[in-house]
Amino acid sequence: MPAVSGQFDTWFRRYEPGPAGAVKLLALPHAGGSAPYFLPLARALGSELDVLCVQYPGRLDRHREPTPTDLRDLADQVYKALVSAPAGPVVLFGHSMGAVLGYEIARRLEDSGGGELLGLIASGRRAPHRFRAETVHLRDDDGIIAEIRELSGTEQGILDDEELLRLVLPALRADYRAVETYRHDSGAPPLAAPVTVLTGESDPRVSLDDARAWQELTSGTFRFRSFPGGHFYLNAQPGAVTAAIRESVAAFRSADASTSS
């Protein structure tokens, strides 16, 4: 079915083939991020999982497409692309904005029964119902650049290249607008799927209490793990983060097997 293949190829980058029938690990980048950010993760886990790195519109090979400015609209689009693919168990892993996006996709999967959701791994983001007014997307270009410098997640080569930096700013601003204007639906029931939260101990944007508050959004098993470092703690310790993801997926699978038996 060409339409299915087209949707899949548009949204997902599979850097490693992955074993037949493997659990899909859907990797959702941060604001301003793109699929190659997760290339090291895909290489580390590609022999065990089918790692699908999400490529948002408005960057790299999708730079001519408009960047969504509504996080729920973006979740709708990723969800539709995901359920168009062959069925199978799915784990969602999102960092920062990607964590909130993963939560919204998880909601759609559970509400529709359109996919086999094993669990959600949320990284570097306070729980969606912990609202904090933020207006980075309203700043001028220099203000947005100051924000990403503080969070230390953007490659120095991009920060030092004025022309390249200006090229990525529109997508970055749109992403910030999407996540900063997002509001959690207070009437939504908790997820049935288990949730794991990973966070940096000195993240300037996410307190440990706000990270632990994800527990309030699931009726399933909750796991919490903190790491030394700030918002992009995972850049400095990829091995430990990969191990934590591997352990979470194994726990999700074990819980699913127990429920099914």
Catalytic status, residue 207: no
Cβ-count burial of 118 within 10 angstroms (0-12 exposed, 13-18 middle, 19+ buried)? Answer: buried
Quickly count: other Cβ atoms within 10 Å of residue 239's Cβ.
9
198: its two tokens: 């990973």
Distance CA 219, CA 240 (A): 27
CB 194 within 8 A of CB 208: no
| Three-class HEC string of 23-91 | CEEEEECCCCCCHHHHHHHHHHHCCCCEEEEECCCCCHHHCCCCCCCCHHHHHHHHHHHHHCCCCCEEE
- Residue tagged 């999708």 (tokens): 62
Q: Which of 5, 34, 84, 96 is catalytic?
A: 96
| Positions marked active-site | 96
